[in-house]
């Protein structure tokens, strides 16, 4: 608030507007340090405030990027300028100088889509984690010149190039933050879809990706999503892919996305499909969340948390579509779609926290909970991705069922795009509900109270049944009497990672962090636990031996009845004509798909 007022008063007095140019060098990439120089010209204010964002849009956690900033200095010509730190991410300089240079270095040693990474093979950075902003001039263009360390390293970014070599222009600070840079020997594949230029840039060395095949499928995804939203709102779009050991993540931007995926995750069909889901997800975000934004994200506050209850829609609905879009694009078939849906429902149904935390609260508390799991997370929280996806399934089925499949969640997306996204006007939870209601033609007060702001069990069968589908809970192999712990082998120790609330293990006093040693005196680990439990019956008493804080303890535990550990979406027997019609309208194929 204060910042905006100041800017207005300065503009109205006609004081000069400064120019900003960043020079980024990486002379010794193996040292992981980006050398950053910000040149400011035509500066006329008595104070210069510089702030590094504490988070990046798209990832709702305060990441304290300033912790990686070192050796801050300020000069005017040869003259050093005095500066002081106001807060953890805020530097201030009192100055009468019109030309100022700020220098600092950024340690870049974290390979993720939302942080910076620099080593002997490449440099990658996210604007939020590298660029200081001058808050009063956030709306001014900023040019960025990169100095590659070697002649065969090139630069990839969604930002438009300027005339000067290796220089790019961001229209404002938001655009700068929204434009990742890749510097190195990344492979570049250019392709055109629907008359728009696209680029796939791949870094990471050896892998089993077949770029031509991947591009053919990416094109299908682009076409399916463009059709939903009535075209592509850009001239050029960049897919930036990092191949890594086992990373799996993406970060959406308006004109690009960063993807991190296992280098050998492209041959096996199920892994390849997951990659395409990731592509579909991040690409969908260019509409949903980058342009169709919750009110709290209409204008980003880079200094602190930006609270919204609507991430179930921004992330969860996007997750629902990342399941549907590969189906519509012909990347996987209806059976694979239903299998994938079943896996998501299984994850949901096996999370006790779904009955504790409303999904709107999960969204609000993203900043302190989702990215900061603890041993109680599964018992007390539900991911807004996962429940948002589940709720979106129900919304889609409900809208379709009530409108003879003439309307669907697609129409909600299109309307949200037209009403809010195109102009980038933030939507309130109430406005989102109104759009859903206007598309569906029914009141959603009860639905929102129960499933968005409430914790009622989701009635999957009630919503699936009109489409000839049902949810079947069973066991992956045979039934296992229920103990209620999850165990991981870590450095040769069998560590109990999770104790489910209300289960025999929790009631007996077994703790997350305990080291599992034996059941009834015989050594047991993660690999054998469920097999060993099959030798018992519900209500049998077993002795569980653990180390608790290095202290040997024995617990007498009474096993409970088995619980399903797998949920599958299956066809009903003898579907009616209406069920068959609904099924075909929803999934694009007839019920005969189940014939063999």
Binding site for Zn ion (CB under 5 A): 315
Q: Cβ–Cβ contacts within 10 Å for residue 169, how many?
A: 17
CB of 333 to Zn ion, least distance (A): 25
With respect to Zn ion, which residue has the nearer C-beta, 33 or 257?
A: 257
Shortest CB 196 distance to Zn ion, Å: 22
Cα(11)–Cα(70) distance, integer angstroms? 33
Least distance in Å: CB of 422 to Zn ion?
21
Q: Which of 478, 488, 512 is nearest to 498 (CA)?
A: 512
Assess contact for 210 and 174: CB atoms under 8 A.
no
Q: Which phi and psi (to 5°) does residue 345 adopt? A: -65, -35
Q: Which of 465, 501, 464, 239 is nearest to 350 (CA)?
A: 501
Q: How many CB atoms lie within 10 A of CB 150?
A: 11
Distance CA 470, CA 247 (A): 34
Smallest distance, Å, CB 416 to Zn ion? Answer: 16
Q: Contact at 8 Å (CB) between 330 and 273? A: no
Q: For residues 174 and 315, which CB has a smaller minimum distance to Zn ion in the complex?
A: 315
Task: Return the exposure string of 444-464: e unless at least 16 CB atoms fall within 10 Å of the residue's CB, then b.
Answer: beebbeebbeebeebebeebb
Closest distance of CB 391 from Zn ion, Å: 16
- What would the two tokens of residue 141 be? 């263009």
Q: How far is the CB of 250 from Zn ion (least distance, A)?
A: 7
Closest CB 112 distance from Zn ion, rounded Å: 14
In whole angstroms, how far apart are CA 364 and each of 41, 361, 379? 41, 5, 18
217 or 315, CB closer to Zn ion? 315
- Shortest distance in whole angstroms from residue 323 CB to Zn ion: 13
Q: DSSP readout, 289-348?
A: TTTB-BGGGTS--TTS----S-HIIIIIIHHHHHHHHHHHTTSS-HHHHHHHHHHHHHHH
- Is residue 99 a contact partner of residue 77, using CB atoms and an 8 Å limit? yes
CB 466, min distance to Zn ion, A: 29
CA distances from 256 to 170, 418, 497 (A): 14, 21, 37
Least separation, in Å, of the C-beta of 249 and Zn ion? 9
Residue among 365 and 494 whose Cβ is closer to Zn ion:
365
Question: Judged by CB, which is closer to Zn ion: 329, or 386?
Answer: 386
Least distance in Å: CB of 497 to Zn ion?
25
For residues 74 and 279, which CB has a smaller minimum distance to Zn ion in the complex? 279
Nearest to Zn ion of 48, 289 (CB atom): 289
Task: Determine the 3-state secondary structure of 181 from DSSP.
Answer: strand
For the CB of residue 281, give the shortest distance to Zn ion in the complex, in Å. Answer: 5
Q: Which is nearer to Zn ion, 315 or 396 (CB)?
A: 315
* Terminal Cα distance for the chain, rounded: 64
Pick 253 or 263: Cβ nearer Zn ion: 253
Nearer to Zn ion (CB atom), residue 74 or residue 224:
224
In terms of CB distance, is 225 or 315 closer to Zn ion? 315
CA distance 543 to 422: 62
* Closest residue to Zn ion in the complex (CB): 315
d(CA 522, CA 115): 46
Q: Are strands 122-125 and 181-184 parallel, antiparallel or unpaired?
A: antiparallel
**CA-CA distance, 484 to 502, in Å (whole number)?**
8
- Pairing state of beta strands 142-147 and 19-25? parallel
| Closer residue to Zn ion in complex, CB, 250/504 | 250
Q: Is 593 exposed, middle or buried (0-12, 13-18, 19+ CB in 10 A)?
A: middle
């Amino acid at each position: 608030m204060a910042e905006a007022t100041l800017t207005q008063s300065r503009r109205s007095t006609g004081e000069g507007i400064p120019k900003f140019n960043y020079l980024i060098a990486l002379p010794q990439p193996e040292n992981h340090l980006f050398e950053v120089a910000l040149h400011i010209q035509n500066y006329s204010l008595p104070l210069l405030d510089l702030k590094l964002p504490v988070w990046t849009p798209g990832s709702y956690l305060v990441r304290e990027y300033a912790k990686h900033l070192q050796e801050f200095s300020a000069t005017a010509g040869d003259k050093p300028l005095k500066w002081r730190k106001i807060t953890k991410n805020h530097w201030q300089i009192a100055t009468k100088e019109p030309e100022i240079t700020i220098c600092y270095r950024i340690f870049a040693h974290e390979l993720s889509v939302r942080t910076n990474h620099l080593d002997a093979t490449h440099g990658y950075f996210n604007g939020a984690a590298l660029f200081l902003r001058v808050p009063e001039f956030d709306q001014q263009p900023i040019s960025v010149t990169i100095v590659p360390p070697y002649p065969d390293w090139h630069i990839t970014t969604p930002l438009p190039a300027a005339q000067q070599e290796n220089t790019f222009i961001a229209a404002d600070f938001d655009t700068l933050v929204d434009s990742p840079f890749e510097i190195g020997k990344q492979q570049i594949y250019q392709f055109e879809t629907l008359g728009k230029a696209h680029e796939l840039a791949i870094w990471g060395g050896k892998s089993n990706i077949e770029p031509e095949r991947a591009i053919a499928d990416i094109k299908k995804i682009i076409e399916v999503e463009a059709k939903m939203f009535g075209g592509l709102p850009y001239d050029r779009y960049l897919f930036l892919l990092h191949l890594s050991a086992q990373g799996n993540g993406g970060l959406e931007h308006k004109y690009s996305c960063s993807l991190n995926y296992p280098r050998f995750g492209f041959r096996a069909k199920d892994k390849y499909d997951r990659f395409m889901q990731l592509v579909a997800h991040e690409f969908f975000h260019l509409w949903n969340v980058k342009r169709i934004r919750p009110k709290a994200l209409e204008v980003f506050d880079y200094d602190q948390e930006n609270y919204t209850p609507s991430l179930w829609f921004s992330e969860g609905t996007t997750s629902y579509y990342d399941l549907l879009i590969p189906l519509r694009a012909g990347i996987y078939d209806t059976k694979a779609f239903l299998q994938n849906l079943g896996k998501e429902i299984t994850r949901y149904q096996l999370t006790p926290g779904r009955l504790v935390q409303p999904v709107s609260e999960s969204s609000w508390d993203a900043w302190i909970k989702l990215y900061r799991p603890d041993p109680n997370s599964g018992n007390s929280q539900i991911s807004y991705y996962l429940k948002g996806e589940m709720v979106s399934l129900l919304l889609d089925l409900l809208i379709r069922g009530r409108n003879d499949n003439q309307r669907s969640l697609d129409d909600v997306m299109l309307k949200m795009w037209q009403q809010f996204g195109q102009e980038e006007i933030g939507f309130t939870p109430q406005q989102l509900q109104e759009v859903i209601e206007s598309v569906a033609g029914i009141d959603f007060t009860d639905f929102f109270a129960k499933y968005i702001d409430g914790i009622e069990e989701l009635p999957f069968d009630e919503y699936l049944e009109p489409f000839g589908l049902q949810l079947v809970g069973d066991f992956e192999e045979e039934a296992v009497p229920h103990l209620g712990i999850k165990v991981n082998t870590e450095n040769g120790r069998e560590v109990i990672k999770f104790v489910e609330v209300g289960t025999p293990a929790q009631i007996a006093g077994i703790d997350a962090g305990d080291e599992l040693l034996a059941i009834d005196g015989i050594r047991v680990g993660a690999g054998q636990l469920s097999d060993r439990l099959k030798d018992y019956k519900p209500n049998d008493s077993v002795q569980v031996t653990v180390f608790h804080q290095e202290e040997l303890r024995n617990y007498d535990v009474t096993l409970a009845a088995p619980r399903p550990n797998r949920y599958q979406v299956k066809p009903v027997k003898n579907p009616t004509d209406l069920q068959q019609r609904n099924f075909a309208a929803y999934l694009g194929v007839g019920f005969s798909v189940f014939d063999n």
